[in-house]
């Protein structure tokens, strides 16, 4: 499977500030990456599908102006949480895959965001 | 859109026993059904998957069965070990999309 990294692994920020999370595909070029959010003891909720060179596709209910996604290269996608609030505190995980990988998805290690 | 339901939410078994987790999906055109294992604070790991052209797939102590008519698939773990303790998620892709819709998860505890 694909090797995926995320940075940072954890971050604490103050309410009202912005945080950027990076997702890198280390061993193959990923046209498509996915961003998930996972609250404690809950499932993975897809936030958006990130497409290299084009705009991300957001799931219903996810604010695109709050969660900015940039997929500028085939190995890097970034998620920026703007004007973060305590309710944005969560585990954010990216993955690579989709139809170019016969639907298989491989996940990064996740980023734990705490907003104080 | 695709809806994936997963049962049970928690499952406790004695070491050596078998564990079965079931998922149902709504999109009859879905054709790929993975199972992920997630340990606390870690990333989900793909442990087995099945595609719509087969009814069963095995990998050592783990097997997945698929019933496309009934739109459900199951994860079977035999001879469970304490290291099998984790949260397991099923998933399915809506037809003609890249994304996966995940079930709500099953917390499996294997007691020695």
Cβ–Cβ of B43/A93 closer than 8 Å? yes
More confident residue, B13 or A55: B13
DSSP A87: G
Three-state secondary-structure class, residue A43? coil
Mutate to test the interface with B, among A25, A95, A105 (most CBs of B within 10 A): A105
Residues of A in contact with B89 (CB under 8 A): 43-44
Taking contacts as CB-CB distances below 8 angstroms, the residues of chain A near B99 are: 34, 46, 49, 98
Percent of chain A with pLDDT over 70: 100
How many Å lie between the alpha carbon of A29 and the closest alpha carbon of chain B?
A: 16
Confidence of residue A41 (pLDDT cuts 50, 70, 90): very high
Could you tell me the pLDDT band of residue A57, with boundaries at 50, 70 and 90? very high
Measuring CA to CA, which residue among A114, A110, A115, A116 is closest to residue A9?
A110
pLDDT in the model for residue A99: 81
Residue in B89, B87, B85 with CA at minimum distance from that of residue B109? B85
A67 pLDDT band, cuts 50/70/90, is very high
State the Cα–Cα distance between residues B36 and B56, nearest whole angstrom.
17
Instruction: Using the CB atoms, write b or e for B4-38: b if 16+ within 10 Å.
Output: bebeeeebebeeeeebbbbbbbebeebbbbbbbbb
Contact A103 B93 (CB under 8 A): yes
Identify the pLDDT of residue B52.
84
Q: How far is A18 from chain B (nearest CA, A)?
A: 23
Q: Quick one: pLDDT at residue B95?
A: 85
């Amino acid at each position: 499977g694909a090797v995926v990294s995320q940075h940072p692994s954890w971050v604490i920020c103050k309410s009202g500030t912005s945080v950027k999370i990076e997702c890198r595909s280390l061993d193959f070029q990923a046209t498509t990456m996915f961003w998930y959010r996972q609250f404690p003891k809950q499932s993975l909720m897809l936030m958006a599908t990130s497409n290299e060179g084009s705009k991300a596709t957001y799931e219903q209910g996810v604010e695109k102006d709050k969660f900015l996604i940039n997929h500028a290269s085939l190995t890097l996608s970034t998620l920026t949480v703007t004007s973060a609030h305590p309710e944005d505190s969560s585990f954010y995980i990216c993955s690579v895959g989709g139809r170019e990988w016969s639907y298989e998805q491989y996940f990064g290690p996740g980023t734990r965001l705490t907003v104080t | 859109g695709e809806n994936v339901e997963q049962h049970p939410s928690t499952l406790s078994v004695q070491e050596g026993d078998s564990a079965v987790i079931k998922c149902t999906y709504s999109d009859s055109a879905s054709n790929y059904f993975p199972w992920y294992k997630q340990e606390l604070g870690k990333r989900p790991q793909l442990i087995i998957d099945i595609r719509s052209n087969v009814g069963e797939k095995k990998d050592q102590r783990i097997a997945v069965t698929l019933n496309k008519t009934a739109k459900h698939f199951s994860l079977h773990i035999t001879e469970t070990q304490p290291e099998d303790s984790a949260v397991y998620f099923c998933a399915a892709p809506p037809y003609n999309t890249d994304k996966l819709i995940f079930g709500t998860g099953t917390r499996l505890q294997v007691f020695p």
